[in-house]
Every structure is written in C-alpha cells, then in structure tokens.
Amino acid sequence: MKPFKTPISALVLIHTTDLQVLIMERADKPGYWQSVTGSIEGDETPLQAAVREVHEETGLDALKYDLQDWQASNVYEIYPHWRHRYAPGVTENREHLFGLTLPAPLPIKLAPDEHLRYEWVDWREAAKRVFSWTNVDALKRLGERHQLTL
C-alpha cells in the first residue's frame, strides 16, 4: 500500500522569457490542465520536490535553467475526489510556488501515467485553461513579475 501523500507541495510554472507557459492535461482527469505540481516526499524541501517533479513530469533538469523560489505559497482545500491519497482528516494542502524560465519552448517528455498531452501557450491563455485557482494565482504572479496584468 502506498503511503499517504504529505499535504505540502510545489507548483512550478515553466515558462519562456516571452511568457509562453507549459500546461499539461491530466491523465486521471482529461480536460483538466495544469502546471507541474506534486507533493514533497520524505524529508524533501519544497525546492527539492520542485526539481524532482519537473524531471518526472517533463524530463527537464530544472537545475540547468533559471529556477526561482518565489517565496510564496497558497493553502487550498483538497478536492474530495483526491482526499483518499492523504491521511484521514487531511483536507488542506500548502502549495509552494516556483518559476522555471527556459530560453524557448522545449520538447517535453511526459510521464504517461500523469499527463496525456502538453501545450505551450501565452500565460493569459494558460490562466483561462488551468483548473486550479492556485495555478491561476501563480500565473497572475508571473504576469505581475513582468509588470503585466490579465
């Protein structure tokens, strides 16, 4: 039996210098698009989880690019259909935000058990398509970091 997930995670917005953002469609929820995200494992820090998740979900080595800890996080209510992954009574998760800047859109090697397909889209389009309010918040923060608004 798999151990319960830790309710602390990392969300990584992978984007180019001109703010094309990578979004991926979930395998377990077709139609649900998101950025790289995942729970910490063991005694990982959120930064270590971010590096691991980027590699697992995209095949990219985050340490070869400009990975930034945005020193921000959101607490959200875990969707009821995913609560079985957490210990009984756990209903909230703290998600730490990171940005990974690439020089241009790169080919991605998806983890087929996690995502069906990916697209590189303008950050505003990404904000319209991702399902999670925390992902939208991270995209707004990306725009703010570049003095842009939705």
> What mean pLDDT do residues 72-85 have?
95
User: What is the model's pLDDT at position 85?
Assistant: 94
Q: Which of 138, 137, 116, 111 is nearest to 15 (CA)?
A: 138
138: Cα within 13 Å, side-chain hemisphere: 34
> What mean pLDDT do residues 7-17 have?
98
> What mean pLDDT do residues 41-51 have?
97
Q: Which of 143, 145, 148 is nearest to 21 (CA)?
A: 143
Q: Could you tell me the CATH number of the domain that includes residue 68?
A: 3.90.79.10
> What mean pLDDT do residues 92-102 have?
98
User: What is the model's pLDDT at position 37?
Assistant: 97
User: What is the model's pLDDT at position 58?
Assistant: 98
User: What is the model's pLDDT at position 2?
Assistant: 76
Which residue range is the domain that position 35 belongs to? 8-145
The verdict on residue 100 lying in a domain is yes
Cα separation, 26 vs 3, whole angstroms? 22
> What mean pLDDT do residues 94-113 have?
97
The verdict on residue 150 lying in a domain is no
Confidence grade of residue 148 (pLDDT, cut at 50, 70, 90): confident
The verdict on residue 1 lying in a domain is no
What is the total count of domains within the chain? 1
The verdict on residue 3 lying in a domain is no
The verdict on residue 2 lying in a domain is no
